Amino acid sequence: MQQYALPSELPVVQAPMAGGPSTPALAIAVARAGGLGFIAGGYLTAKTLAAAVDEVRAQTAGPIGVNLFVPSQPAPREPIEAYAAQLQAEAERFEATLGDATWDDDHYAEKLDYLVREPLHVVTFTFGTPQADDVERLHRAGVSVGVTVTGAAEARQAADLGADVLIVQGTEAGGHQATFDANSVNTTPLSDALDQIRDVSLPMIAAGGIMTGADASAALDADAIGVQIGTALLCTPEAATNAVHRAALLDSMFSDTIVSRAYSGRYARGLHNRFADAHSDAPSGYPEVHYLTRPLRSAAIAAGDAQVPNLWAGTNWRSITQAPAAEIVREIATGVR
């Protein structure tokens, strides 16, 4: 395949924010504005993913991508059971029952089969690399393949498997860190990551802390072909960000962000609330811990308690606005030098 180029008019990519914020409406708005809209395939079945793709395709001819989570290996049970015991009092306070800390592969094979049958512009992967056969199947279907990486070693691994583009994630990014090793914390700033990965000689999309045109310009000046924005879109009308999360961002309830695996068993950056701080040393185990804490997080949101649920946010979250997604995409693109 020829060297990957963004299929969108503008060098702005919507981050796939699984678990709530990403919606078909958000992907549609970004695509219509000239950016690259994304459907977050994480936590979806193949059937629900297909329904989301159909909804987006029915309303825009713009370029669209899908992101998938690379399955992990099952985690040891004892640390997770001990963590569940720690959380029991918290759950009782909300009259919630902790979830079943089970492992699954997030319907990975079924979703990949669907994307080979119904190809889109690009499929990206997070939490590791797909198998070489998966990359070959997507390439044969005419689909470009992207892998989210945080360092040069990961980038070389993705290149060796035939990836077309690298989504380079700096430590500033909100939500889950994409490190291949779930026990490793990404502390590398985006500018340094771009500098380290440039020699791999694959096109780079910069992710992490991109909120303004100036942020985008700095990334493009560092040889990225585009920028991926997530936190900037969390409070748009098109996002399904819950009310507690929106209020915490817009009202500056918290002073900073924290990287914690309290919520899912994988390191992720969010607003520095009590729960993330108290349980930052939670055991590794994704998606087991995600399923364990999900009912507790939902109960806290229903109660309007911002001190307990995950409030994903990148380090530059204070620049967030409630503007429509199209306006944010165009403003960032217009501000590029």
Q: What is the CATH number of the domain that holds 122?
A: 3.20.20.70
- Residue 261 included in any domain: yes
- Strand 12-14 with 64-69, pairing: unpaired
pLDDT tens digits along 157-169: 999 999 999 999 9
What's the first-to-final CA gap in the chain, in angstroms?
30
- Cβ atoms of 38 and 15 closer than 8 Å: yes
301 plus 325 within the same structural domain: no
- 3-class SS at 72? coil
Are 65 and 92 in the same domain? no
- Phi/psi for 67 (5° steps) reads -110, 140
pLDDT at 1: 46
What DSSP character marks residue 319? Answer: G
SS3 64: strand
Residue-wise pLDDT tens digits, 50-74: 999 999 999 999 999 999 999 999 9
Instruction: State the Cα–Cα distance between residues 290 and 298, nearest whole angstrom.
Output: 12
Q: Say yes or no to pLDDT of 280 above 70.
A: yes
- Nearest CA to 27 out of 230, 322, 209 is that of 230
Number of domains in the chain: 2
β-strand pairing of 144-149 with 122-126: parallel
For residues 82 and 181, state if they share a domain.
no
- What average pLDDT does range 169-198 have in this prediction? 97
CA–CA dist 315, 210 (Å, integer):
9
Based on the fold, state whether residues 39 and 182 are members of the same structural domain. yes
pTM: 0.96
Q: How many other CB atoms are there within 10 angstroms of residue 180's CB atom?
A: 19
